[in-house]
Structure 1
Amino acid sequence: MIRKVFLAVLALGLITFSCSDDDNPKKTSRLTLNLDGLEALGPDFVYEGWIIVDGAPVSTGTFSSVSFPQTFNIDKNQLKKATTFVLSIEPSVDPDPSPAATKVLAGDFSGDEANVNSNGIVGDFSASSGKYILATPTDTDDMNEESGVWFLDNSSGSPVAGLDLPVLSAGWRYEGWVVFDGTPITTGTFTAVDSADDNAATSMFKGDAGNGPAYPGEDYLQNAPAGLTFPTDLKGKTVVISVEPDPDNSTAPFTLKPLAHMVPNDAMNHTAIMMGDGPVKSLTGIVSR
């Protein structure tokens, strides 16, 4: 008799536990991220995932490691109802519960998977192109013209914008670079290809004869970083256009680099040179629920 009563109580307990688990509104499911091409951010920023549920963003958690796959436990009902996944860049100490403007990847769920990419949320760089010239217009010395790079096209006789790039989404800026023996040195950040860049008036590298033409670019004439000597010769160096988070707390180029070109050893000064495709024109990934 005692054995029968014990078994009955045990069975009742199992039934009760099962019902309680089914009715638990906080029951979770797994969300798995398999993302390609991301690079580690500076120490003050993290990546944060979001699912869009009934038109509103719901955080799936933050991460700084760029090794994948990564899995997060998400409210089961919310994850089931999610229509879209978005990845943003956020301050590591973030008082704002909403997503930042700097969104990296996005894609709609189709069944239990979302193919995410950067094309629609950052910009589509598939048709991007660029030209630049070697010149040093910010000094009065015509003996070091190969020490400056300017993203303009003067092949018609009058300068015009040398870069053909899409307008970026909020939270992003372009940045030019020259890579000196593995060390990238900025030419400045910009959003408009037909205006001077953001550091035109404050650059420590330019000469003392003015800010230069009204296009992005830089003269490497003075105040060289440790290990480098300015003026220099940019022939054989690599010129890069990257897409940077804004704000950006990393001194290194971000992973998106739509244009790049090694300056030919026989390049002529003051002559437009065509850029090629950069190493990373888009970021992609698969998000599974």
Structure 2
Amino acid sequence: MIRKMYLAVLALGVLSVSCSNDDDATSQQPQTSALTLNLSGLEALGDDFVYEGWIIVDGSPVSTGTFSDVSFPKTFQVLSAQLASASTFVLSIEPALDLDPAPAATKILAGDFVDSSANVNSNLVADFSAAAGTFILATPTDADNTNEESGVWFLDNSTGTAVAGLDLPTLSDGWVYEGWAVINGTPISTGTFTDPAMADANAASSPYKGDLGNGPGYPGEDYLQNAPDGFDFPTDLRGKTIVISVEPSPDNSTAPFTLKPLLQTVASDAAVHTPITMGAGPVQTLTGTVTR
């Protein structure tokens, strides 16, 4: 009888120690809290890139997770202590296979936390509220004055001397401008650039331009030869839409990105070599709310 009582007491002691250890293990697990993103205007990036959220804690970025699906709201679990002390939320565009633990230069949204939420916007890319633009229809890379309605150049020749036709803010690192002519519903690039007063990046290598040279030292394109499948060059840009977009760099998409600060549909009777004023584009800023 004494032996049975001893075994029973020993068993209770083991059970008590085991429960205590379980409680200690649970209490030592890191505590997490929900971070909810409710963002508007983002577009899917394709297979090679993802969006990644970051909180700034004591001046250093801490990843909150990646996503490629752009339906919202979207919730992530983040260490509670870090989330509570975070000052800012930032959203960047990252390679899908990313060996760099730091945020890429291509940051698209940011905002400071005030109590439990942060209102984020894309002003860290640039503020496009004062963006303006002018272009002409012309084909300066061919040898004559035919097919002038088949080229678009972002310059202003209203004074008789060509000057830059685009008034655009300087972009933050990781971003470039790109011009587009939307022909029969399909956007075809005029090239990328960062300085509206200089030729775009493909000035010397464009497959579409004529044989006379690179054209004026401003962004633009002559659509004269080597048309993509389904198109015929020369073309007629009257009645078509001209767009300036803001693109992440690097960028593997053949379509314009979501930020489009300037846009203009060319009148069907527009004169060539004559300045055409651009209007505000459909997306000049992105916004959203991040809640902790």
Short-chain TM bin = over 0.9
Give a deviation string over 1:203-235, Cα, whole Å, max 9, x none: 000000010000000000001111111101100
Distance 2:291 2:51 in 1: 17
Cα distance in 2 for partners of 1:146, 1:7 equals 92
Distance in 1 of aligned mates of 2:185 and 2:63: 37
Tell me what 2:257 maps to: 254
Structure 1 residue corresponding to 2:80, chosen from 76, 83, 86: 76
Q: Which runs of 5+ in 2 are unaligned?
A: 1-10
Q: In structure 1, which of residues 86, 89, 103 is the aligned counterpart of residue 107 of structure 2?
A: 103
Shift of 1:51: 0.4
Is 2:147 the partner of 1:157?
no
Q: Identity across aligned pairs (percent)?
A: 68
Q: Which ranges of 4 or more aligned residues in structure 1 deviate by more than 2 Å?
A: 6-24
1:129 to 128, 132, 135: 132
Q: Deviations over 1:177-205 (max 9, x none)?
A: 00011100000000000000000000000
What are the superposed Cα offsets for residues 71-116 of structure 1, whole Å, 9 maximum, x if unpaired? 1111111111110000000011111000000000000000110100
Cα deviations across residues 160-192 of structure 1 (Å, max 9, x unaligned)? 100000000000000000001110000000000
Distance 2:31 2:18 in 1: 20
Shift of 1:13: 7.9
- 1:167 aligns to 2:154 (yes or no): no
Choose 1 or 2 for highest CA Rg: 2
Structure 1 portions without partners, runs of 5+: 1-5
TM-score between both structures, scaled by the size of structure 2: 0.93
The answer on 1:211 being equivalent to 2:214 is yes
Please state whether the residue corresponding to 2:37 is helix, strand or coil: strand
Number of equivalent positions:
287
Q: Tell me which residue corresponds to 1:29.
A: 33
Q: Take 2:21 and 2:223, find their aligned partners in 1: how far apart are those partners?
A: 75
For residue 288 of structure 1, what is the amino acid of its counterpart? T
Change (3 A) 1:112 1:9: farther
Q: Residue 4 of structure 2 corresponds to which residue in structure 1?
A: none
